[in-house]
Structure 1
């Protein structure tokens, strides 16, 4: 097992930058990886073989990672167009392979791009074992393969432009796309200068620990352990296990089985050895959010008036695995460090369950990706006059699509464009509920412990027809607060008899009093029709933990940021807020019994009037 120490602290010397938008300084322990085993050496020969089609040349085979010689299954598709060809690396989702979502590649080839696809180690036909998008393993593979195809040592006639590379990926590939920003310039094995000109993370994580174990803090997922999204986590874990007689070994290293068992059998914690190892592994070595060298590079570029690495990110309002905060934390941090940072966002009903992934919206979003690539790799398109990075930029705005019911087709007219994330809402309502409620949770009641490990069955990122599992029975009490939509509109200064949009992240503030040492508070917001039909708008969670089973929490002020959405509310509807200790099968409940007095509930809602 190869380990490396990561002892860098996040320190900024510029007092004008907002520190509360940045991750706290932290030193991590050693990385946990396993490399150099099941490499395929001596079994699978290295090299690509090419075939010609009507409009392209396809070269497939295996290349050896420069990290440890692991044979990785690779395809390079090259268009019959003027060389050299800009290169787009398209990284697949978890448990997928180089053949996943190949329709994207066809469109890229038609636009004149060469496309590099490969199965990440441990997946598809690639050898090696999965190290979960580790910065020292899978990201080393990425750079190694880009360098090899750029060099073209076999003389296949690939003619790739090493100075015009983009890294695009969805889900598992999206997390790696963000991590590719750590090393946007590097040398190939033959010494060719490679430059990644842009990254396009699609429904990615930015803090893998915060995505899988949310605690209610968008900047610090570590110090108060949240609860795991067991349905998603186990669905990913089981779905990624490979069953291939041609690869007769476990594609997961031992440490991933240990991590999974520890998560299933213990209350979330950061205790050494395994609790700390999981935190260090997921946050320190697999999340762009916790990599201080990236933020230092942003600061250095801003101070010296150098261009930044452009980012176009696609995130889902209704993605319960990697929700809106995965985009917001990086957006806010980058804008705090450099107000002119060239980052564009597309937010919509896309991603993992419960996202609808309507074909019209997926196509619309991908067209925006293609426009972005055309500009940054081929110099096509007009630069935006509102972007002020030292280099010309296509866009630095936010596109947000209205979430409509699954039965309503996507309409491009439902896409709102604003200059900044903060401009989504133009009004704000605050509702107060004075009556206290008592939440009683007894984990001995087996309702609420359900999770659905088959949540990803027959699903892949951005695929329709993958609904979230139905809610589990909730043991204990649920505090319910209902307010008329017309009242919310009036309190925000909007016409009470007109529809409005919930635009962004609602927040729940409350006073929690308990003798327990650990409490999980979950909030859900529903849109309720006059006939009683309820639709989940958004949710959030917050963890309280004294750190000592003998130390009661007592009275605490709590602020729960909900994940957010862009939804139209009619004046005859109501909004229903639920506060509970259980939101399974979405997130696992605590194992700690508790009785919590909830009082002084305040509900804040960002709004805007409809634009059409």
Structure 2
């Protein structure tokens, strides 16, 4: 954990360096860039950059408002904003969120004051620029994505939103299956303190986190979750584009796909390899980028009335190990079929082989299998931000030598080799009976693509923590892993690994044992979706 502040600094520096090309673009003919101080909610000052097309006005121009990401200043989007102003005639106002850098106030974590600030920015732009309020869009990455979605729900003037690397459900993001995402929490807190001034609610949240009572502050997270504003977005008819990375360390894709399914207006979902904010990073600097190109098309179609050929509803996925984008009519269409594999008892195939269970497609007799809890294994989710970024930029997956995973501390199952190439596409789901020897235990579920040499590439994962139970009492555990898209070559196997420690998360596995089982009438199974 001592490396996190340095990692935060490195990540922020990379983002800023990637976007320092933006001011150079501002010298190009066709638009102007100017600084502005905008009065936000409660009279605080918001530091903004206004990018405005040059030339005679032809009636009010369409307006785009872009709140900056967590810990970043308003320079973040100037490159993309310059292209949008120059090529499509948008007035773009990019501003630093309250509490960070040159903006006043304290960090409110996308609270009501942040939404009120965004609405004040729209008011100001209509009064002080050539923009009108008839065609308004909002866009942002990470923190800016969350503020944009929440504002669109509250303000019917916002016709279209592009939320990139944002969240739908803060509880599911930072407390997945009652497991504290400690690496994400440390990352956000360290970067917030480095670049901003934490508000009272965030300071209280940090105290609760340090004192291991996160549950006391979950209402704060729920209030700031766009998933609880979907009815308002639907009532407003807001056109919503959602883009995230498969390996996002802060806001995993499962909560985004759930939000997408509940929207009933114009909507588009994009998922691609990478970690938090990396798929759209270079596009924000004005460089060619698939996500930002689609964002521009989205706004042109829903704000300017220009037909860019984007369907009213659709999904675009780039598999984790491929450069090809695939298009679907809906999220449900991503999975054509589901293959159910039943977990069989782990056993040694010969004296030197590690104990591994089969994953047949037919049910097997009941069984139980016990592992030790509280010790790490070679199966892990990778390093926060770094592993996902490497996957996105170099297609280097988080790997594991499956034969070397300690079978005393992990339970392992594997299928037979596939006879032909298949595409795992959608949300894998696991159901298994668990009997912990302690009141609480954390389980970390990993799904791998394993080659002939035994090297596994991580396809999907998910934590789950069983809290305040009765030791020795069986319970059925159902886990929806992260949505994924992965091309499994012929001759490869799928492997399931469950252990009890992962350094990204605060685990509850201090010791004891965990017994997995598959009782008659309620067999343990792994449901794998294929495209």
Shorter-normalised TM-score: what interval?
A: 0.7 to 0.9
- 2:126 and 2:396 map into 1 onto residues whose CA distance is 41
User: Within 2, Cα distance between the matches of 1:311 and 1:535?
Assistant: 33
Q: State the 1:113 CA deviation.
A: 1.1
The superposition leaves residues 263-299 of structure 1 with CA deviations (integer Å, 9 ceiling, x where unpaired) of 1342x552xxxx2xx2111112x111234xx42673x
| Equivalent position of 1:329 in the other structure | 258
Residue 590 (structure 1) aligns with: 508
Q: Distance in 1 between matches of 2:335 and 2:465?
A: 27
Call closer, same or farther: CA 1:315–1:133 in 2, change over 3 Å.
same
Q: Deviations over 1:311-359 (max 9, x none)?
A: 111122222321221212212223xxx4xx3211112114418x67796
Which residue does 1:222 correspond to in 2? none
- Report the CA distance between 1:126 and its aligned residue: 1.1
* SS across alignment from 1:439: strand
The runs of at least 4 consecutive aligned structure 1 residues that moved more than 3 Å come to: 355-362, 445-448, 454-457, 462-471, 473-476, 591-594
Partner residue in 1 for 2:296: 370
Counterpart-to-counterpart distance in 1, 2:71 and 2:218: 22
Rounded Cα–Cα distance in structure 1 between residues aligned with 2:244 and 2:85: 25
Q: Distance in 2 between matches of 1:323 and 1:256?
A: 21
Q: Distance in 2 between matches of 1:481 and 1:470?
A: 16
Indicate the residue corresponding to 2:479 in structure 1. Answer: 560
Are the counterparts in 1 of residues 208 and 214 from structure 2 also a CA contact under 8 Å? no
Structure 1 residue corresponding to 2:336, chosen from 396, 420, 426? 426
Deviation of 1:237 (Å): 1.2
TM-score normalized with structure 1 length: 0.70
Q: Is the 8 A contact 1:230 1:588 kept in 2?
A: yes
1:56 corresponds to which of 31, 34, 40 = 31
Deviation sequence 1:138-191 (CA, Å, 0-9, x none): 111110111012112xxxxx2102111101011111111221222233xxxxxx
Runs of 5+ unmatched residues, structure 2: 1-25, 346-367, 519-523
2:321 aligns with: 404
Equivalences, count: 467
**Change in 2 beyond 3 A, CA 1:469/1:423:** closer
Give how far 1:76 is off: 0.9
Q: Distance in 2 between matches of 1:422 and 1:97?
A: 38
TM (normalized to structure 2)? 0.80
Matches of residues 489-568 of structure 1 in structure 2 within 5 Å?
Answer: 496=419, 498-546=420-468, 551-552=470-471, 554-568=473-487
Contact 2:319 2:486 in 1 (8 A): yes
Other-structure match for 2:228: 290
Is the Cα–Cα contact under 8 Å of residues 31 and 82 in structure 2 kept in the other structure?
A: no
**Structure 2 equivalent of residue 309 of structure 1:** 238
CA drift at 1:199 = 0.9
In structure 2, distance between residues paired with 1:518 and 1:97: 42
The answer for the alignment partner of 1:343 in structure 2 is: 267
Deviations 1:374-406 (A, max 9, x none): 11111101677xxxxxxxxx430111112226x
1:87 to 55, 63, 75: 63
Partner deviation per Cα, 1:181-231 (whole Å, 9 max, x = no partner): 22233xxxxxxxxx211111111111112101101xxxxxxxxxx111111
For residues 558 and 320 of structure 1, what CA distance do their matches in structure 2 show?
Answer: 24
2:361 counterpart residue number: none
Q: Quick check: 1:123–1:242 contact (8 Å CA) kept in 2?
A: no
- Tell me: CA distance 1:327–1:446, structure 2 relative to 1, closer, same or farther (3 Å): closer
Task: Determine helix, strand or coil for the equivalent of 2:338.
Answer: strand
Contact 1:331-1:343 within 8 A present in 2 as well:
yes
How far residue 100 of structure 1 moved from its aligned partner, in angstroms, is 1.4
Aligned to 2:218: 279
Given candidates 115, 119, 124, the residue that maps to 1:139 is 115
Residue aligned with 1:536, SS: strand
1:101: Cα distance to partner? 4.0
1:230 maps to which of 182, 203, 208? 182
CA contact (8 A) 1:322 1:352 kept: yes
Take 2:438 and 2:509, find their aligned partners in 1: how far apart are those partners? 11
- Unaligned stretches of 5+ residues in structure 1: 1-50, 153-157, 186-194, 216-225, 244-249, 302-306, 385-393, 487-495
Shift of 1:510: 0.4
More helix by share: 2
Instruction: Find the aligned partners of 1:501 and 1:510 in 2 and give their Cα distance.
Output: 24
The 5-angstrom pairing of residues 244-259 of structure 1 reads 251-259=197-205
Distance 1:159 1:578 in 2: 58
**Partners of 1:106 and 1:570 in 2: CA distance:** 43
2: distance between equivalents of 1:163 and 1:210? 35
**Using the alignment, how far apart are the partners of 1:330 and 1:466 within structure 2?**
28
Are residue 173 (structure 1) and residue 118 (structure 2) matched? no
- Distance in 1, Cα, partners of 2:424 & 2:442: 25
Whole-Å separation in 2 of the counterparts to 1:280 and 1:322:
18
Q: 1:598 to 1:232 in 2, by over 3 A?
A: same
Distance in 2 of aligned mates of 1:378 and 1:132: 32
| CA distance 1:328–1:479, change in 2 (3 Å) | same
